[in-house]
Structure 1
Amino acid sequence: MTSRLKTLGEAGQAVWLDFIDRRFLSDGGLRKLVEEDGLTGVTSNPSIFEKAMGHGDAYDAGFRAIAGGAEATAQDLYESQAISDVKAAAADLRPVYDRLRGKDGYVSLEVSPDLADDATATVAEAQRLWATVDEPNLMVKVPGTKAGATALRTLVEAGVNVNVTLLFSLGAYQAVADAFLAGLEARVQTGDPIDRIASVASFFVSRIDTQIDQAIDARLGAKDPQSADLAALRGKVAIANAKVAYAWYRTLLASGRWQALAKRGAMPQRLLWASTGVKDPAYADTLYVDSLIGPCTVTTLPPKTLEAFRDHGAVRPTLTEGVQGAQGVLSEADRLGLDMDAVTRGLVQEGVKLFAEATDALLGAVAAKRKTLLGDHQNPHQAPLTNNPQASAAAGPK
């Protein structure tokens, strides 16, 4: 029987795994998902690497090989192993990339979250990652901040594949889409090809409902006179927000501006649904997958959600269902004072902060590993646990 995940692919939605781990890769776990479930991509972030590297012994041999260098720091150890994993994942996905002629088959690696508000440093870091990994099916992840959008335009013009992350609002997504098109248009002006430049716009889902539902629950607890209307919005705002973004995306693809680029072979910057794991146990565990299925999109699934959808997910073109109703949900949220603008702005700031904290935890765990592996032979130079953009730009791979 055809895997439900493969059926998603047949419906035009790519399935990416939101997970990376040394043992999973070496045991052939990614290759198996590609072959059996039609998986076409992988994403990573500091939180994922912290869990992978900070626990167990899967990375000890790799750490030991690098740690003997007199000047090796925790940052050096992390970067060497992260890039090793990304290159291994890129190799597993290369057949997909080749078969689809660059339309999919990507693995993502994130720039330091400390650079989220510095476009120049983000560009430098992204270009360093791009050159160091040196695989055509790499996507460098940059945050969807104002600086990130500026960096995106420059990186696309330079021919770098980019995954723009931490998008929560339609306005932020529109700024990113405009920057992507501007980068392609700049390449056209200089006569450079645009047919193998890939990008995704990672639009986050469940985190929005978590914030909105908390606000709703607080008002329900206070016996708000609008309680019935508020309760009706629980678990609906994030999906409505995503559907409205997808409706705008389809309008963009039909525009003359995009069609002019498409005629030159440009690939669209696909909307990617991120944060698809359900946070509230009251909701179906495949809610944010079942509700957001449509062509020319990507869904990123953590392992638990992937397994749940494989078991009992429902495949139908839900992204184009009830778009007018979705707009009504957002209007109702505004009428009830749920302030989506403030929520989405706060979520960007919180997302950057959480990834920065995960990076610090990751480097702390790696430093502890280094001490355990080398003991008294470790080098006396202690790497800071927060990234230094100037040092990072001149250092080895990250």
Structure 2
Amino acid sequence: MANNVKQIHEFGQSIWLDFIDREIIASGKLKKLIDEDGVRGVTSNPAIFEKAITSSSDYDADIKTLGETAKTTEELFFGLAIKDIQAAADLFSGVYNEEVKGADGYVSLEVSPFLALDTEGTTKQAELLWKQVDRENVMIKIPGTKPGLQAIRSSIAKGININVTLLFSLDRYEEVTEAYIAGLEDHLAAGHNIEHISSVASFFLSRIDVIVDPLLEEKGQKDLVGQVAIASAKKAYEIYKRVFSTDRWKALAAKGAKPQRLLWASTGSKNPAFKDTKYVEALIGPDTVDTVPLETIDAFRDHGIAANTLETGLEEATATLAKLKELGIDLDKITQQLEDEGIDKFNKPFEKLLKAIEDQKVKA
């Protein structure tokens, strides 16, 4: 019987797992997801590592060892995380080295969430983590905040693979594509090759609907509930197709540049009234990535429907966003709120994580 998850790849979309811990690597579960489900990469974030490290004894020995030399608790954390990222990157090296080298097989590690509004700090840490992980199939995650834009450009200009995270707004997404293209041009102008550089722009979905849907219900627009995030993503894909077909882009592509793929994030359904595979099914299409929690992969394997859906209903998507304006719902304001909350949502678990590591170090 055909594997539903693996079928997605037939439509040109790569499924990455939005999860990492030592158990999934050591037990062979991650290898099984690669072999049986066709999973082609991994993303991590501070909340994922907080859960992994605080709910397992797998890290205790390393906390003790690294605690003897690490100057700060944050340095100790990155020591733990880098070990996991390297192990996962090695597992995906076969995918990375397929016929079209570097098309997939990436594992993402995020800079400290405390640096989300610090251009210089982000740029320095991105370079440091890139060197410490020392794997060509790693991506360093940088939030797509306003201060993050220059850090993205500078990092790409140094030849670092970047996963731009925490994107909600179409305008900001377009600024991110500019940062990527300008970074490639900088790297090329410095006399370097650019064909090895890869990047994704992570567009967050379900969180948009969590904020917008109650506003729509208040205004008696129940037919638009659960539609706005998907409409935004479809419009983002229109921007992607436009930006990566210009003469400016073609000049870089002729030198081997890869387009910065859109990545759908926050794809688990947060509303129990929605089908648990809703956000995956609605946005399957070529040259994109979907990073999916383990439970959503399990759900899609069981009852997901793989079909080329990303470029269907584009007129409806345009009409949906236009209707929001008519209703007086300010999507720009909402996406800025989501960005601010997103930073906080990573800061809090990171603070909790550092405290847990500190406590563990004391016990050790």
Tell me, yes or no, whether TM beats 0.5: yes
Q: Give the C-alpha shift of residue 53 in structure 1.
A: 0.2
**Aligned-partner SS, 1:338:** coil
What's the counterpart of residue 222 of structure 1?
Answer: none
Looking at structure 2, the residues matched to 209 and 29 of structure 1 have their Cα atoms a distance apart, in angstroms, of 32
**Aligned-partner SS, 1:367:** helix
Contact residue 107 and residue 139 of structure 1 kept, 8 A: yes
Looking at structure 1, the residues matched to 341 and 192 of structure 2 have their Cα atoms a distance apart, in angstroms, of 38
Looking at structure 1, the residues matched to 289 and 243 of structure 2 have their Cα atoms a distance apart, in angstroms, of 17
Matched, 1:261 2:252: yes
Which aligned segments of 4 or more residues in structure 1 are displaced greater than 4 angstroms?
A: 70-73
1:1-398 to 2 correspondences below 5 Å = 1-67=1-67, 69=68, 73-99=72-98, 100-217=100-217, 219=218, 226-227=219-220, 230-372=221-363, 374=364
Q: Give the C-alpha shift of residue 259 in structure 1.
A: 1.4
The higher relative CO (CA closer than 8 Å, separation ≥ 6) is in: 1
Contact residue 240 and residue 329 of structure 1 kept, 8 A: yes
Opposite residue 282 of structure 2, the aligned amino acid is: S
Q: Deviations over 1:65-105 (max 9, x none)?
A: 323x1666432432221110000001001111111401110
Query: What runs of 5+ residues in structure 2 fail to find an aligned partner?
Result: none
Looking at structure 2, the residues matched to 231 and 2 of structure 1 have their Cα atoms a distance apart, in angstroms, of 36
**Aligned-partner SS, 1:154:** helix
Looking at structure 2, the residues matched to 70 and 186 of structure 1 have their Cα atoms a distance apart, in angstroms, of 37
Contact residue 74 and residue 370 of structure 1 kept, 8 A: no
Looking at structure 1, the residues matched to 32 and 249 of structure 2 have their Cα atoms a distance apart, in angstroms, of 36
**Aligned-partner SS, 2:48:** helix
Contact residue 70 and residue 76 of structure 2 kept, 8 A: no
Query: Pairwise CA RMSD of aligned residues?
Result: 1.2
Shift of the 175–71 alpha-carbon distance from structure 1 to 2, 3 Å rule, reads: closer
Looking at structure 1, the residues matched to 216 and 319 of structure 2 have their Cα atoms a distance apart, in angstroms, of 17
Opposite residue 83 of structure 1, the aligned amino acid is: I
Q: Deviations over 1:245-276 (max 9, x none)?
A: 11111122222121111111111100000000
Looking at structure 1, the residues matched to 17 and 301 of structure 2 have their Cα atoms a distance apart, in angstroms, of 13
Shift of the 135–176 alpha-carbon distance from structure 1 to 2, 3 Å rule, reads: same
Looking at structure 2, the residues matched to 71 and 163 of structure 1 have their Cα atoms a distance apart, in angstroms, of 27
Shift of the 70–35 alpha-carbon distance from structure 1 to 2, 3 Å rule, reads: closer
Work out the number of aligned pairs and report it: 363
Q: Give the C-alpha shift of residue 356 in structure 1.
A: 0.8
Q: Give the C-alpha shift of residue 278 in structure 1.
A: 0.3
Q: Give the C-alpha shift of residue 56 in structure 1.
A: 2.5
Opposite residue 84 of structure 2, the aligned amino acid is: D
Looking at structure 2, the residues matched to 129 and 41 of structure 1 have their Cα atoms a distance apart, in angstroms, of 18
Q: Deviations over 1:295-336 (max 9, x none)?
A: 000000001111111111111111100101100000001111
Looking at structure 2, the residues matched to 262 and 3 of structure 1 have their Cα atoms a distance apart, in angstroms, of 34
**Aligned-partner SS, 1:8:** helix
Looking at structure 2, the residues matched to 283 and 338 of structure 1 have their Cα atoms a distance apart, in angstroms, of 22
Opposite residue 203 of structure 2, the aligned amino acid is: F
Opposite residue 223 of structure 2, the aligned amino acid is: A
| Fraction of identical pairs, as percent | 47
Looking at structure 2, the residues matched to 365 and 84 of structure 1 have their Cα atoms a distance apart, in angstroms, of 18
Looking at structure 1, the residues matched to 236 and 340 of structure 2 have their Cα atoms a distance apart, in angstroms, of 21
Q: Give the C-alpha shift of residue 59 in structure 1.
A: 1.3
Looking at structure 2, the residues matched to 70 and 63 of structure 1 have their Cα atoms a distance apart, in angstroms, of 10
Contact residue 233 and residue 333 of structure 1 kept, 8 A: no
Contact residue 201 and residue 263 of structure 2 kept, 8 A: yes
Q: Give the C-alpha shift of residue 371 in structure 1.
A: 2.4
Looking at structure 2, the residues matched to 136 and 200 of structure 1 have their Cα atoms a distance apart, in angstroms, of 15
Opposite residue 47 of structure 2, the aligned amino acid is: S
Looking at structure 1, the residues matched to 191 and 72 of structure 2 have their Cα atoms a distance apart, in angstroms, of 43
Opposite residue 89 of structure 2, the aligned amino acid is: A
Opposite residue 293 of structure 1, the aligned amino acid is: I
**Aligned-partner SS, 2:92:** helix
- Tell me the TM-score normalised to structure 1 length: 0.89
Q: Give the C-alpha shift of residue 119 in structure 1.
A: 1.1
Q: Deviations over 1:28-63 (max 9, x none)?
A: 111111111111100001100000001121212222
Q: Deviations over 1:229-255 (max 9, x none)?
A: x22211000000000111111122222
Contact residue 66 and residue 72 of structure 1 kept, 8 A: no
Moved more, 358-367 or 201-210: 358-367
